Amino acid sequence: MEDKRRYLVPILLSTGEILKFLSRYQHRKSTLSEISQALGISKSTCFRILRTLEEMKYVTYDKETKRFSLGSYLAVLGSRAMEQIDYLALGRETLREMSRQTGLSCVIVQRITENRLAYIAKEDGESHRLTIAVGNQFPITQVFFGKLYLAYETPENRERILADGLPRMTPLTITDVEQYKEELRKVRKLGYATSKEEYIEGIKAVAAPVFDSDGKILMLIGCIGIAAHLPDGKLTEYGELVKRHADELTARLNGAIPPYEEIR
């Protein structure tokens, strides 16, 4: 790791951290001081980076509020990246088919750091439209998608992440770590995860993993809907459907589904 870091450019690392910081919903409009303090970057360096990004239209600056936010040209880059990354193009095809079959809003989720996930793509459902912001990030233990990543995580990493505990998001959230691990065992056996209002009241969801050639999770595909329209039997039906799509997508990408492993 130290050898790899020798070739990294510090100013570019700081630039990337600033863009990621502004991409988070709660920081989407931030002052220079807020960005500098949160990231531990000196105010002068932070200012020069932000002014350069503003010139490139990667960020915008509101003179009245003195706050920075992401710029319009990033939408162009994101759209072109989506077109050029083969697995995301195939993933979007799958989302459209899943949305057609279920009428639900369907999403692609990826892990962007060890402890954070983000919406990468979405397809609105015809029957039940929900507000889902592509790029929105969330801690791995504060959303049901995290169950899938943690179910396939190494025991050491899983224990380290769960050592901080499980925050209560709704009255139905599982906060006991051993009970949560039992949920992870179910995920490994079923090949998909569900949420029954555990993280957002009134919302149910289901998702399954797509694997790369090394048997690591490349992305998650899932469906999200209003709880009143998704009885448990229907949620199970959609869980099997999403898993079939995920397995087919894994095969199309020459991925490898890892063998079953008991979670201890």
**CATH number assigned to the domain comprising residue 166:** 3.30.450.40
* pLDDT at residue number 78: 75
74 pLDDT tier (thresholds 50, 70, 90): confident
* pLDDT at residue number 264: 75
The least confident of 40-44, 60-64, 227-231 is: 227-231
The identity of residue 21, as a single letter, is F
Order of strands across the sheet that contains 193-196: 137-139, 116-123, 105-113, 217-226, 203-211, 193-196
Written in H, E and C, the secondary structure of 68-126 is: EEECCHHHHHHHHHHHHCHHHHHHHHHHHHHHHHHCCEEEEEEEEECCEEEEEEEECCC
Would you state the torsion angle of the CA atoms of residues 163, 168, 169, 174, taken in this order, to the nearest 10 degrees?
A: 80
- Residue 264 is assigned to a structural domain of this protein: no
| Final residue before a domain boundary, out of 73, 104, 131 | 73
Residues 117 and 17 in one domain: no
- Residue 261 is assigned to a structural domain of this protein: no
The least confident of 15-29, 46-60, 145-159, 237-251 is: 15-29
What is the average per-residue pLDDT within 173-182? 95
Residues 50 and 195: their CA atoms lie apart, in Å, by 39
* pLDDT at residue number 1: 46
- Residue 257 is assigned to a structural domain of this protein: no
Residues 137 and 61 in one domain: no
| Final residue before a domain boundary, out of 38, 73, 108 | 73
Which tokens sit at 212? 């790369």
- Residue 241 is assigned to a structural domain of this protein: yes
What is the average per-residue pLDDT within 161-186? 94
Between 125 and 157, name the one with better pLDDT.
Answer: 157
pLDDT digits (tens, 9 = 90+) for 207-255: 999 998 889 999 999 999 999 888 989 999 999 999 999 999 999 888 8
* pLDDT at residue number 119: 93
Examine the pLDDT at 128 and tell me if it is beyond 70: no
The domain that contains 63 carries what CATH number?
Answer: 1.10.10.10
* pLDDT at residue number 85: 65
Helix (H) or strand (E) holding 19: helix 10-23
Residues 177 and 121 in one domain: yes
What is the average per-residue pLDDT within 131-135? 82
Residues 9 and 115 in one domain: no
Residues 237 and 119: their CA atoms lie apart, in Å, by 23
Between 25 and 214, name the one with better pLDDT.
Answer: 214
Residues 133 and 248 in one domain: yes
* pLDDT at residue number 133: 82
Q: What are the angstrom distances between the C-alpha of 155 and each of 11, 78, 150, 216?
A: 35, 34, 9, 14
* pLDDT at residue number 256: 87
Q: What are the angstrom distances between the C-alpha of 35 and each of 27, 73, 87, 121, 179?
A: 9, 21, 33, 27, 38
Instruction: Please list the alpha-helical segments (H only) found in 103-196.
Output: 145-151, 155-162, 177-190
Structural domain that includes position 179: 85-252
Q: pLDDT exceeding 70 applies to what percent of the chain?
A: 94
Between 258 and 208, name the one with better pLDDT.
Answer: 208
The least confident of 4-13, 57-66, 92-101 is: 4-13
What is the average per-residue pLDDT within 9-17? 91
Counted domains in the chain: 2
Residues 155 and 34 in one domain: no
Which tokens sit at 15? 């630039």
What is the average per-residue pLDDT within 61-67? 94
Residues 59 and 147 in one domain: no
- Residue 108 is assigned to a structural domain of this protein: yes
84 pLDDT tier (thresholds 50, 70, 90): low
What is the average per-residue pLDDT within 54-74? 92
